Amino acid sequence: MSVSYDLLERQVRELLAGETNAIANAANFSAFVYHELPDVNWAGVYFLEDSGELVLGPFGGKPACTRLAPGRGVCGAAVTGARTVVVDDVKAFADHIVCDSASRSEIVVPLSSGKGLIGVFDVDSPRVARFTDADRIGIEALVRVFAESIA
């Protein structure tokens, strides 16, 4: 099933309009992505702390790991490289941190606001190679709308 990222982007703009609180917008943004993208079992935010650790923020899906050590996991790789990381098969990514054994592929997009890098947005799928390049471009566009809303 394909989705229209243009339509989703307009809906995210509408959803977040008029609110700048990071937690409120992270909550609605994560819930929106979790429900609107097919074949997704988790979608949420990790916020970057001064220590370099990522700490769990709002999400849709099952309870997840609360703290990710600096540079560790797919999320840490996205922070270290300051770029999106797509993992087609998490079992083949040596440093993948398992929060839900149902997850088979993953995309992590760095979250930059006016304050610089403030965290990551992480989406997991139970399907191998769920996230195509079109999904990467689309999800990055959605994340930009969210990041601008809290800048």
Which residues in this chain contact ligand SME in the complex, by CB under 6 A?
A: 42, 64-65, 68, 73-75, 96-97, 99, 103, 106, 122, 124
Residue 95 CB, nearest approach to ligand SME (Å): 7
Closer to ligand SME by CB, 13 or 136: give it: 136
* In the complex, minimum distance from the CB of residue 7 to ligand SME, in angstroms, rounded to a whole number: 26
Residue 121 to residues 46, 91, 92, 140, 144: CA-CA distances in angstroms? Answer: 7, 20, 21, 9, 11
Residue 96 or 130: the one with the smaller Cβ distance to ligand SME is 96
Q: How far is the CB of 91 from ligand SME (least distance, A)?
A: 12
Please identify, using beta-carbon distances, which residue of 25 and 30 lies nearer to ligand SME.
Answer: 30
Of all helices (H) and strands (E), which one includes residue 107? strand 105-113
Nearer to ligand SME, 73 or 138 (CB): 73
Taking the complex as a whole, the smallest distance from the CB of residue 73 to ligand SME amounts, in Å, to 3
Q: How far is CA 34 from the centre of its chain?
A: 10
Give the β-pairing of 54-61 and 42-48: antiparallel
CA distances from 138 to 8, 50, 69, 141 (A): 9, 29, 28, 5
The Cα 64–Cα 45 span in angstroms is: 11
